[in-house]
Structure 1
Amino acid sequence: MDYDDAYENGGHIPGGDSYPPRWVAEARAFRATARAELDIPYGSEPRQKMDIFYPEGDIRGLMVFVHGGYWKARDRKDWSGFAAGGVARGWAVAMPSYTLAPEARISQITAEVAVAIDTAARKVAGPICLAGHSAGGHLVARMLCLDVRLTARDRIARCVPISPVSDLREMLKTSMNEDLRLDMAEAEAESPMLHRKASDAATTVWVGAAERPVFVQHAQWLAHAWDCPIEVVPERHHFDIIDGLADPESPLMQAILGSG
């Protein structure tokens, strides 16, 4: 098995190169008009910042979206447009950046995301709903594990890991591990499927049926390990599986925030 090819997404998606520029353009347009607090620091490092987008009127709670990029690419500002669904539902939506590999190990990134969530939780009252895509799906799943220091864990009502990487031992077989620098001990410690889910948060694993087979497997592994629902969405691939985040009435947003 060619593990690099197995985890290659864009090259197997028709028009895959068009998605990142579209996300960036939509993010810029959304940021230009949104009611937002930008570049909020949650630490002293350059990428330890987040944006929070606010609805008009009363705030129902806090939604946090954690971006992907195999822990080594992308930035929160690329994804701002995906806050639209949560904001339209009356939720504040926080989007953190985090230090990327190889500068940071994945265990450090996990700890940074926890600090970002706690920082956002001090600014926004009410329940917390987590969503993350790909590596971000891994990171939000880790927030439900007891070994992660997260003060606001008891406030988490829902969590939707989208196309998550749930077993990091798989990453040891890829060339990207030159940047990730995982060893077996860290890969096991950072694999959410190897942890007991230590939160009562309603959790649904979300994945596209047209994704690379390894991502469907990771989603199934996590859902089985945690005995939680899994939604395999027909005809969705790794890039368009997140489109529902911008639509307040989409099934994805109902899974993240509930149907009320």
Structure 2
Amino acid sequence: MRYDDAYANAKFIPGGADYPPRWAKGAATFRAALGQRARLGLRYGPAEAGWFDLFLPDAEPLGLMVFVHGGYWLAFGPRDFSHLASGALARGWACAMPAYTLAPKARISEMTAEIAAALPMMAGAVAGPVVLTGHSAGGHLVARMASADAALPVVERLTRIVPISPLADLRPLIETAMNADLRLDPAEARDESPALHPRRPGTSVHVWVGGDERPAFLDQARRLGNAWACPVTIEPKRHHFDVIEGLEPPDSPLMAALLG
């Protein structure tokens, strides 16, 4: 297919196949160490994937950071990335990570609706401000929450949204082999592309992407930044799989962009 190589990541990253098992191992270790401060499998909806995990800091949370996982809407789940909550917890924030129904069981528009439905349930668990972040397909889903046409029940508490390596224009994905499962058609690709919609007025967005990512992802990040006139940080020497490591230390530039 025309864009398969453009949107492939693992085969262009040295040791790319080693990252998913490393993520899963780190996530399991993190959850085990957190003990009672890991509240797992909280429900937000009736679907099988209608749940989220909530991780709490030692003291009363200062607010809530939500992380939405990636995987091209086809793979992974929140518990592959639990360890990415560590930076927020060290800063005194809680972190929620929602599941959502993956393709081919759900279309991308249905995933957008699931994340919108999860937000009030997650925000209801913790007082204070809310920030949203997500990676790759998760970056797309949190960017959709900033689109003017999307329902956003927690808008009055939302401080900012930081899409990491987001897919902002879905139209090229129609010409990839994975579209056999995504089932994007031109209308849905247009409707679900954040870069093709206005940003919700008053919603703060900061796009983040690795400097060593595939050109298509750099283009997607810049496209969203240009469309929404929002900052785009290109982090040097980071590729698509390690750019999310900035969520682990509390004092990283990425955490500063998220929590100030």
What TM-score, normalized by structure 2, do the two folds share?
0.97
After superposition, residues 46-57 of structure 1 pair within 5 angstroms as 46-57=48-59
Partner of 2:80: 78
Offset of residue 201 of structure 1? 3.0
| SS in structure 2 of the partner of residue 6 of structure 1 | coil
**Does structure 2 retain, via aligned residues, the 8 Å contact 1:208–1:232?**
yes
Say which of 64, 74, 80 aligns to 1:62: 64
Q: What does residue 6 of structure 2 align with?
A: 6
Q: Is the 8 A contact 1:210 1:236 kept in 2?
A: yes
Alignment partner of 1:145 is 2:119: no
Q: Deviations over 1:150-172 (max 9, x none)?
A: 21122110111000000011111
Q: Alpha-carbon deviations, 1:175-220, whole Å to 9, x = none?
A: 1111011111111110000111104232111001110100000000
For 1:228, give the aligned amino acid.
Answer: C
Question: What residue identity is the alignment partner of 2:109?
Answer: S
CA distance in structure 1 between the partners assigned to 2:61 and 2:203 by the alignment: 20
Instruction: Provide the rounded CA distance (Å) in 2 between the counterparts of 1:60 and 1:253.
Output: 14
Q: Which amino acid aligns with 1:116?
A: A
Q: Which residue of 2 aligns with 1:33?
A: 33
Equivalence map 1:85-124=2 (5 Å): 85-124=87-126
2:150 match: secondary structure: coil
Q: Is the 8 A contact 2:6 2:216 kept in 1?
A: yes
Residue equivalent to 1:162: 164
Q: Which runs of 5+ in 2 are unaligned?
A: none
What are the equivalent positions in structure 2 for 1:171-250 lying under 5 Å apart?
A: 171-250=173-252
Distance 1:255 1:173 in 2: 34
SS class of match (1:5)? coil
In 2: Cα distance, 1:99 partner to 1:45 partner: 8
Aligned partner of residue 98 in structure 1, secondary structure = coil
Shift of 1:238: 0.2
Instruction: Judge conservation of contact 1:145–1:199 (CA < 8 Å) in 2.
Output: no
Aligned partners of 1:256 and 1:60: how far apart in 2?
13
Aligned to 2:135: 133
Q: Is the 8 A contact 1:144 1:153 kept in 2?
A: no
Q: CA deviation at 1:105?
A: 0.4
Bigger shift: 18-27 or 1-10? 1-10
Instruction: Specify whether residues 90 and 199 from structure 1 end up closer, same or farther in structure 2 by C-alpha distance, changes over 3 A only.
Output: farther
Contact 1:205 1:219 in 2 (8 A): yes
CA root-mean-square deviation: 1.0
Question: Unaligned 5+ residue runs, structure 1?
Answer: none
Secondary structure of the 2:134 match is strand
* Conservation of the 8 A alpha-carbon contact between 2:161 and 2:206: yes
Offset, 1:84: 0.3
Distance across 1 between alignment mates of 2:186 and 2:243: 30
How many pairs does the alignment contain? 258
Question: Percent of aligned positions with the same letter in both sequences?
Answer: 55
Quote the Cα distance in structure 2 between the aligned partners of 1:243 and 1:40: 25
Q: In the aligned structure 2, how far is the partner of 1:156 from the partner of 1:109?
A: 20
